[in-house]
Structure 1
């Protein structure tokens, strides 16, 4: 008998879940959970109404990944959207700011200007570029994707784990761009992180035993669009693929079965392992560019 197995949803027993109704404490899957003022409730408790038959939950409600259930399951998503929008407006108001924040390996301007880029120690570009957009349509498209994919993931994983998926996906996408593109290739945008959320959604759907065909079709369509030129601009397939793979790997670790400290160790250990893999790719590319002089 697998003692580490999560309980099944009381309405969908085949779906493992770490979320419980705050009123009756029955396990509920994301399809059945209904947002309440605090945590989530099952459909039956919602129908009964808040004034009758309330029973205190013996356990604090937890997300599927074991994190605490937040009153606002989209708070981190809203903050991330706010940061992206704010940086877009600042970039429009401050000429030259995108040049200092966008991702590139190494760039030399004419007339003896100094080197710029990650290979010269400007490692902040690996993450600042993930929050930077220069076109309004680019920003809107990514923010719609962040809202649609991010909300359900944040509710299922919890705030801290969800933020880890987003940031590591963005870093993974940047690392692959840095590794595989010319050192003076300028890249920016949140699409690497968004594709990470797409990879995380695929892993979550598989774990919850949802119908996978719609998810597979969505992933295939998004990857196909990666190789289409939009408005004369090419899309960075390296950022998309790197983010997709990173998001899937991180979520696999976060949804590891188990309980207590052992599960937490596996979850955050997997995040550290993915981070170190990205650092390794960055170090390899930096050494390669240094050898080229």
Structure 2
């Protein structure tokens, strides 16, 4: 293996055999990224050509320049269910999800500190009306929670569980950088939407529904999976509104941020955009919402 190949394999966004092609699919055996032309349907998930050759070698595969165009839709339909089902089935897990773990550790720690300090973290980190000029709140609001020794403990715990059932697998699927982008956009848009509505933003609602929306964009081409994600999102919507928290503005804002970011990351390479173009678009929208929030409710009266 050449040094160039090693460098390519460290980039989770491109196929290890075709560095000019972006893909979200990983080989279930070695974890390398494979484009649609290199994906081989195996009994469990998708394998790369090298792994098939190293194991049984019994699965037929043809190079990209010999693939019949009519076979592409069939391969696309068969690979996605296995990938997403394994993601949904593998709830939680710690391997390869440092950002998800970090968010939950900070969330739990701040909640415990809040119980012991009369909610000091909430006072400094939540997206409160009149404090929009403290721009860090647009990022820290999701990890803050109004902690009281009553049912809020149960609600905070359930939010953390739902996040843990979704975030780690999506982080492994997207890669760290793209996952962080989805989280930041969901947090900023959700917090800004809540503040613009005149209420306080806090809790994991915006992040959780931002991840649901990003996953929905990813599986939209498969009707069955799309229905499953919509049902899961609907159930969590009812639970979220019942449990309380930041409410509908954070939920809707988080979904807009997550879905919008995921969509731009997917269509950018197909349209020949530079890698930084989707980042600049998302950053511009987030900056605009922060400015609007500061102008409307950003100064403490």
- Per the TM superposition, whether the score is higher than 0.5 is yes
8 Å contact 1:30–1:156 — kept in the other structure? no
SS at match of 2:102: helix
1:252 alignment partner in structure 2: 263
In 2, the alpha carbon distance for the partners of 1:31 and 1:246 equals 36
The residue number in structure 1 matching 2:122 is: 98
The structure with more helix, counted as a fraction of residues: 2
Deviation at 1:284, TM superposition (A): 2.3
Match status 1:242 vs 2:253: yes
Segments of structure 1 that go 5 or more residues without pairing to the other structure are 1-5, 8-15, 35-39, 54-63, 65-70, 107-116
**Which blocks of at least 5 consecutive residues in structure 2 are unaligned?**
1-13, 16-22, 59-79, 81-93
Taking structure 1 as the reference length, the TM-score comes to 0.66
Matched, 1:74 2:97: yes
Match of 1:200 in 2: 214
Report the Cα distance in structure 2 between the residues aligned to 1:74 and 1:204, rounded to whole angstroms: 19
Change beyond 3 A, Cα 1:269–1:207 = farther
What's the RMSD between the two structures over aligned residues? Answer: 3.9
Task: State the shift of 1:242 in Å.
Answer: 0.2
Seen in structure 2, the aligned counterparts of structure 1 residues 47 and 78 have a Cα distance that, compared at 3 Å, is farther
CA contact (8 A) 2:219 2:225 kept: yes
Cα distance 1:234–1:193, how it changes in 2: closer, same or farther (>3 A)?
closer
Q: Out of 218-227 and 163-172, give the one that drifted further.
A: 218-227
CA contact (8 A) 2:194 2:246 kept: no
Q: Please report how far the alpha carbon of residue 46 of structure 1 lies from its aligned counterpart in structure 2 after TM superposition.
A: 12
CA distance in 1, matches of 2:209, 2:103: 15
Asked if the contact 1:200–1:247 (Cα under 8 Å) also holds between the matched residues in 2, the reply is: yes
Alignment of 1:1-293 (within 5 A): 18-20=25-27, 22=30, 26-27=38-39, 32-33=44-45, 48=55, 72-95=95-118, 96-106=120-130, 117-118=131-132, 121-133=133-145, 134=147, 135-181=152-198, 185-207=199-221, 211-228=225-242, 230=243, 233=244, 235-256=246-267, 258=269, 262=272, 265-266=274-275, 268-289=276-297
Q: Distance in 1 between matches of 2:230 and 2:282?
A: 23
Normalising by structure 2, we get a TM-score of 0.64
Q: Deviations over 1:71-91 (max 9, x none)?
A: 933232222211212222222
SS in 2 for 1:212: helix
Query: Would the aligned equivalents of 1:174 and 1:239 in 2 still touch at CA under 8 Å?
Result: yes
1:245 is displaced (CA, Å) by 1.1
